[in-house]
Amino acid sequence: MKPMKPTQPILNDRPVPVRRRGVIALLLIFLLIGGIALLRRPLNADPVAVAEPLIESAVQPPVPTCAPPVSRFVLPAHHADTTLEISASTRLFVPEQAFVDSSGIPLDEPVEIAVQEIMNPVETFLSGIPMELDAGRVLKSAGMVNIQGRSGSGQTVKIDPLRALEFEFESLDADTSYTAWALDTVTGEWLEIDAPTEVIITDEQARLEELKAAIPPPPVKVGNNAFTIGDDTGFYPELAEYEHVHFQPVDGERCGFTCTQIEVTPRENGIYDVHFIGHEYGYKTIAREEVCSCYLAFEEGEAYSEAMRAYQRKNRKMLEERDREQKRAQRAWERYLRALGRQQMLAEGDKPDWRQRSADKRVSRTLAVLQFGILNVDKPTVIDAPVNLMATFVDSTGTELALENLQVVDLTSQVLYPCRDNRVQLYPGQRQVLLGTTPTGDLAYVRAYEISGLSRSLERYTFPVQVARLDDLSPDAVLDLLLPEPQISI
């Protein structure tokens, strides 16, 4: 037999160098530690947070200290239908179970609602919300709101599409051409959305007149041409009921005559028809007749006082309802006028004359809120101003200013539109204000309506700018700057 060829040993019995043994030992230790850590880590441990790049928002308030205020409300997990009073003229209705998570499951924890209402172009400017729709067009707002929601645990909060919130606010007019829009805060683009919006006209005076018409008139005191009736024939015993009662003609004119027959017929609202009939001899033929519509009247004194007390007892519920409705209507009307003044941006001294000319019915609008974000009731408006010029700006010392965030606030047509590359478009004859900020962040403004001589023939103009260097500006303070109180001549 041939000797077998020795096989290569499976294990090498050659000594391992010390350095190599140390490296191997260190690797084994690392693997052991990593394995223990992996075994001890729970299966549902949170993933490692990775920093995400911040998303730039198109909404940048030019003067953050004077942005419109935000109202915050916390609704409990199982709240009932709730109406949130945002201000004197705006309300947000939240139905029960209105909020769901990202899977559409109703939330079982409190939700905080943050609401910022924007009701005129100055507030729009201060909020930093762009209103440009496309080249040459902007959105004219009837009312805008920024609604945000969050839960305490940080869950995503959405609105159940079958349980929409409802935002209600007072409106300047009943124009039905406004529709609902939502702002993409990343791109700054407005998108028209399918959210119902409605105009509600409330005629407070008609409602009060209905209530008053249903209430019988109170007793009246005996006045001119009041009369009494009686029966000297003995044929009409039913007239004894009116033996001590006076009849006061509704029209105040003389009425009635001595006759052979009298009939009294009660009508609605405390009015009685007294029918005088005069017959010829033999009572077969009527020679004359007259009907007098009258109130029951009482002699001043105890008789009248007792009649009034009886009247109030009998009609107490209707009288109380009328009084409550009258007070409610008065409060609603006062809130409405304040809202109109805010939307119209009127100086305080301008309100009385304007409200007498404009307001006869209360107009409000509702917007179905199906999503969080910046929502608006708008309609597109074309900007084609006859004056289009290059503008430079100087302060009170004549120093030229480089203004940022430059926009035109049209107080007459209630729109806000931007100025590009210092090119300003204006409508002479309309109340317009230029608003912007200085490089140091101060508010700069020009009351363009106080400048005469602006015409379409101008190509350039240097505007004198006023700078508001105030520590704490508010939207109301800005309006006071733009709309100084009218001078009262004595």
Tens digit of pLDDT for each residue in 288-303?
999 999 988 888 887 7
472 band by pLDDT with thresholds 50, 70 and 90: low
Instruction: Please compute the mean of the pLDDT values over residues 133-145 and round it to a whole number.
Output: 91
360 band by pLDDT with thresholds 50, 70 and 90: low
Instruction: Please compute the mean of the pLDDT values over residues 375-382 and round it to a whole number.
Output: 95
pLDDT (0 to 100) of residue 38: 41
DSSP 8-class letter at 320: H
Mean of all residue pLDDT scores within the chain: 81
pLDDT (0 to 100) of residue 223: 87
- Give the pairing of strands 261-266 and 271-279: antiparallel
Amino acid letter for position 269: N
- pLDDT over threshold 60, residue 105: yes
DSSP E strand boundaries for 300-447: 362-369, 373-382, 387-394, 400-401, 404-410, 415-418, 423-426, 432-437, 443-447
379 band by pLDDT with thresholds 50, 70 and 90: very high
Instruction: Please compute the mean of the pLDDT values over residues 178-201 and round it to a whole number.
Output: 94
**Distance between the two ends of the chain, CA-based, in angstroms?**
143
Task: Report percent pLDDT > 70 for the chain.
Answer: 82
DSSP 8-class letter at 455: -
The 3 state secondary structure assigned to 2-28 is: CCCCCCCCCCCCCCCCHHHHHHHHHHH
DSSP 8-class letter at 227: B
Amino acid letter for position 171: S
Among left, alpha and beta (phi > 0; psi -120 to 50; other), residue 398 is: left
Three-class SS of residue 317?
helix
Three-class SS of residue 212?
helix
152 band by pLDDT with thresholds 50, 70 and 90: confident
Residues 6+ apart with CB under 8 A from 436: 62, 393, 403, 404, 405, 406, 407, 443, 444, 445
Residues 6+ apart with CB under 8 A from 151: 99, 107, 109, 110, 111, 112, 157
Name the β-bridge partners of 48. none
Counted residue by residue, the chain has a size of 490
Give per-residue pLDDT as tens, 386-441: 899 999 999 989 999 999 999 999 888 889 999 988 899 998 878 889 999 998 88
Amino acid letter for position 357: R
Please tell me the chain's helix, strand, coil percentages from 3-state DSSP, rounded to the nearest 5.
Answer: 25, 35, 40
202's tokens: 């409330």
C-alpha span between 284 and 461 (Å, rounded):
97
Decide: 413 and 434 in contact? Cβ < 8 Å: no
Roughly what angle, to the nearest 10 degrees, separates helices 204-214 and 316-344? 170
C-alpha distances in angstroms, 273 versus 107, 240, 247, 378? 67, 16, 10, 57
- pLDDT over threshold 70, residue 307: yes
Q: How many CB atoms lie under 10 A from the CB of residue 283?
A: 11
Half-sphere exposure of 196 (CA within 13 A, CB side): 10
Token pair 């029966």 is found at 231
pLDDT (0 to 100) of residue 12: 35
97 band by pLDDT with thresholds 50, 70 and 90: very high
pLDDT (0 to 100) of residue 135: 81
User: Which residue, among 65, 367, 435, 39, has the nearest Cα to 197 in the 3D structure?
Assistant: 367
Decide: 337 and 355 in contact? Cβ < 8 Å: yes
The listed range with the strongest mean pLDDT (184-188, 205-209, 240-244, 269-273) is: 184-188
354's tokens: 């304007």
Among the listed ranges 139-153, 173-187, 301-315, which one has the minimum average pLDDT value?
301-315
Half-sphere exposure of 18 (CA within 13 A, CB side): 0
- pLDDT over threshold 90, residue 138: yes
The listed range with the strongest mean pLDDT (5-19, 390-404, 443-457) is: 390-404
pLDDT (0 to 100) of residue 116: 95
User: Which residue, among 331, 308, 463, has the nearest Cα to 398 in the 3D structure?
Assistant: 463
DSSP 8-class letter at 420: B
Name the β-bridge partners of 274. 264, 292
C-alpha span between 388 and 424 (Å, rounded):
6
C-alpha span between 382 and 385 (Å, rounded):
9
